[in-house]
Amino acid sequence: MDERLIEILEDIQPEVDYETCTTLIDDHYLNSLAIISLVAELEEEFDITIPTVEIIPENFNSASAMWEMITRLQDEN
């Protein structure tokens, strides 16, 4: 997993253990406003475009799921 991703997540919601948490959306650690900010930061940091169809809980419930989405989108470019 990428250190930059963890830093971005910690800026948005610092009290979460992103290495182990797999319920970021389900347990409301990240709300819709946080997701909007997160999408914008991820797109800028990793030079990707996150289509609306990718903004689903499965892709944002854990840092590892986000990293999988990021690398998949980078590979598609």
pLDDT value of position 77? 74
Q: Which domains does the chain have, with CATH numbers?
A: 3-76 (1.10.1200.10)
Rounded to two decimals, the pTM is 0.93
Cβ contacts of residue 61 below 8 Å, gap of 6+?
A: 22, 23, 24, 25, 26
What string of pLDDT tens digits covers the 77 residues of the chain?
799 999 999 999 999 999 999 999 999 999 999 999 999 999 999 999 999 999 999 999 999 999 999 999 999 87
